[in-house]
Amino acid sequence: MRDLPLSKVYQLLEPGPVVLLTTAIKGRANVMAMSWHMMVEFTPPLVACIVSNVDYSFAALRSTKECVIAIPSRKLARKVVSIGSCSGQDVDKFKRFGLMAVPAKCVAAPLVAECFANLECKIANTRLVNQYNLFILEVVKAWVDATQKNPKTIHHHGYGEFVVDGRRIKLQTRMP
């Protein structure tokens, strides 16, 4: 994994890929799938995420105030859906799904070696957690795996339908 400037984080999350969110509490790591997220601020990168309070990850995220957002490519699609269909309360998902947990630099939650990008996050704001399970996260460190060339992200259309990122086109825009 090599450093990614924080100014480039936005390009990873702007298209709304399905991501993995890792947490760690009392030495035990967990991972869930997440698609309800959006950019809130460009720099420092702030991300709004819904982590339901029925998820095992919720308590770990709320009490440790940190996590990793790991971005999988389409090769991991089936695994990602399986990860999002069982709970860390019952199973060690890193072990069950053969994921390699790599120590992060700024947070206790692990990076996921198989993902092409990993974003270390700390909670920036919890004002809407009680009402909407909505956490505002600040990305404090970002990594990319340069060996994964042109990774294609997975996008959730609901009810078991997904699309894989397609052809890129370039257009003039005022957005950075």
Reduce the DSSP state of residue 93 to 3 states and report it: helix
Report which residue type is found at 77.
Answer: A
- 3-state DSSP of 102-125: ECCCCCCCCEECCCCEEEEEEEEE
CB of 150 to ligand FMN, least distance (A): 22
**The binder of ligand FMN chosen from 32, 67, 68, 142 (CB under 6 A):** 32
Stretch that binds ligand FMN, among 3-11, 25-33, 65-73, 139-147 (CB under 6 A): 25-33
**The binder of ligand FMN chosen from 87, 92, 127, 132 (CB under 6 A):** 87
Reduce the DSSP state of residue 80 to 3 states and report it: helix
**The binder of ligand FMN chosen from 6, 39, 50, 101 (CB under 6 A):** 50
CB under 8 Å to 30, separation ≥6 — which residues? 22, 23, 24, 56, 57, 60, 88, 93
Phi, psi of 74 (to 5 degrees): -60, -25
Residue nearest to ligand FMN (CB): 84
Q: Rounded distance, CA 54 to CA 45, Å?
A: 27
CB of 173 to ligand FMN, least distance (A): 27
Stretch that binds ligand FMN, among 7-15, 29-37, 40-48, 140-148 (CB under 6 A): 29-37
**The binder of ligand FMN chosen from 81, 101, 102, 123 (CB under 6 A):** 81
79 contacts ligand FMN (rule: CB under 6 A): no
63 contacts ligand FMN (rule: CB under 6 A): no
Residues that bind ligand FMN (CB under 6 A): 18, 30, 32-36, 50-52, 55-57, 81, 84-89, 156
